């Protein structure tokens, strides 16, 4: 089995109802953390991991995403004339080479497993990555890069994993642990959004996956699971029964749930503070604001 991962799927078909009214006219993935759209963080992480082909599973109303990755000749020529080379370089770094990016439509919202399955014809018989752009991970070494390296060593299916509080397990895919092997966790079961009190652990799946072609074959059978949706978790769990070849990867870094408003705000503060150009002033503002609020209490 070839252990180089060069293709990644980005499921971006969701309606983003939690961010209405903003998402009435812009895709959630274009919403900005400081000054970069959510999707740019996912793309940068994929590139750092050696991904060369980017497959977007989209839906109606997502054309702003396609434009975002395209060249912007008028904007570029204006910046060139004004000698704004920094901005020009930054803009160019968001362009995708012709043929490096593909879009496939998910024409019915049947779940994450179904979204991934929609990309099957673009994958061939190779391992592939899946990145959920809602999960933004700040890390010294990008999470997917760590996982790709682990995959080169061990093969198998690898999902990013993180401990969550017991009362939150019902919001995630949860791993049933067989054996801990450093950051890798050999898994003996996996359940999507377990009912409260029934989770096999509190080790949750976070939105980064390295998957083998067998997962696509499992998805071909399309059984609906939790919430009546076709779940990626179920297709991976099936693989445990068939090959016992599924691992969790305890990544290093801070994960932000940018699918929720609270998580998005937290990420905005963290990324703002981490910026050389904004951090000091922002820190000043935050400390003054916190002090004022405390004094008013
Ligand atoms: C999806 C997956 C779930 C995973 C989660 C991570 O759920 O189905 O297994 O734990 O992403 O963010 P969603 O958040 O789309 O409901």
* Nearest ligand 1 atom to alpha carbon 134: 12
Distance of CA 54 to the CA centre of its chain: 13
Q: Is the pTM of this model over 0.85?
A: yes
The residue whose CA has the least distance to atom 11 of ligand 1 is 207
pLDDT at 99: 84
The residue whose CB lies within 8 Å of the most ligand 1 atoms, and thus the one to mutate among 172, 233, 259, is 172
pLDDT at 297: 84
* Nearest ligand 1 atom to alpha carbon 206: 6
pLDDT at 221: 85
Cα distance between residue 151 and residue 129, in whole Å:
11
Instruction: Encode pLDDT of 24-44 as tens digits.
Output: 889 999 999 999 999 999 999
Instruction: Encode pLDDT of 39-95 as tens digits.
Output: 999 999 999 999 999 999 999 888 888 888 888 888 888 989 998 988 888 888 888
Distance of CA 57 to the CA centre of its chain: 13
* Nearest ligand 1 atom to alpha carbon 233: 9
Identify the burial level of 101 via C-beta atoms within 10 angstroms of its C-beta, where 0-12 means exposed, 13-18 middle and 19 or more buried. middle
pLDDT at 218: 93
pLDDT at 2: 56
The parts of the chain modelled with pLDDT lower than 50 are none
Question: What does the chain come to in residues?
Answer: 297
Written as one string, the DSSP assignment of the chain is ------EEEEE-----GGGTTGGGTS-GGGSEETTEEHHHHHHHHHHHTT--EEEEEE-TT-HHHHHHTS--HHHHHHHHHTT-HHHHHHHHTT---TTSEEEEE--S---HHHHHHTTGGGT-SS-EEEE-TTEEEE-SS-HHHHHHHHHHHH-SEEEEEEE--GGGGGGSEEEEEEEEETTEEEEEEEEESPPTT--S-SEEEEEEEEE-HHHHHHHHT--B-GGGSB-HHHHHHHHHHHH--EEEEE--SEEEETTSHHHHHHHHHHHHHH-TTTHHHHHHHHHHHHHHHHHH-
Distance of CA 224 to the CA centre of its chain: 22
Six-digit token pair at 147? Answer: 């996982």
pLDDT at 267: 97
Residue 207 Cβ contacting ligand 1 at under 6 Å:
yes
pLDDT at 224: 80
CA of 90 to the centre of ligand 1 (A): 31
pLDDT at 1: 54
């Amino acid at each position: 089995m070839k252990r180089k991962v060069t293709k990644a799927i980005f499921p971006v078909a969701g309606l983003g109802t939690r961010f209405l009214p903003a998402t009435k006219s812009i895709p959630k993935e274009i919403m900005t953390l400081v000054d970069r759209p959510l999707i740019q963080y996912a793309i940068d992480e994929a590139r750092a991991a050696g991904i060369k082909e980017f497959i977007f599973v989209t839906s109606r109303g997502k054309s702003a995403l396609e434009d975002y990755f395209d060249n912007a000749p008028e904007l570029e020529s204006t910046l060139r004339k004004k000698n704004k080379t920094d901005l020009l370089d930054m803009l160019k770094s968001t362009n995708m080479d012709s043929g490096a990016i593909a879009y496939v439509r998910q024409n019915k919202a049947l779940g994450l497993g179904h979204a991934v399955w929609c990309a099957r014809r673009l994958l061939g018989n190779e391992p592939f990555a899946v990145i959920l752009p809602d999960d933004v991970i700040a890390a010294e070494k990008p999470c997917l890069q760590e996982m790709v390296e682990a995959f080169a060593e061990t093969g198998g299916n690898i999902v990013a994993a993180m401990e969550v509080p017991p009362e939150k397990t019902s919001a995630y895919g949860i791993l049933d642990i067989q054996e801990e092997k450093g950051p890798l966790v050999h898994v003996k079961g996996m359940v999507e959004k377990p009912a409260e009190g029934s989770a096999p652990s509190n080790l949750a799946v976070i939105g980064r996956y390295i998957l083998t072609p067998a997962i696509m074959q499992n998805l071909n059978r399309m059984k609906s699971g939790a919430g009546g949706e076709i779940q990626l978790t179920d297709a991976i769990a099936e693989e445990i029964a068939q090959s016992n070849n599924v691992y969790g990867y305890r990544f290093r870094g801070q994960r932000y749930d940018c699918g929720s408003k609270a998580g998005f705000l937290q990420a905005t503060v963290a990324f703002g503070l981490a910026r050389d150009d904004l951090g000091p002033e922002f820190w000043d503002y935050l400390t003054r604001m916190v002090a004022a609020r405390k004094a008013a209490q």
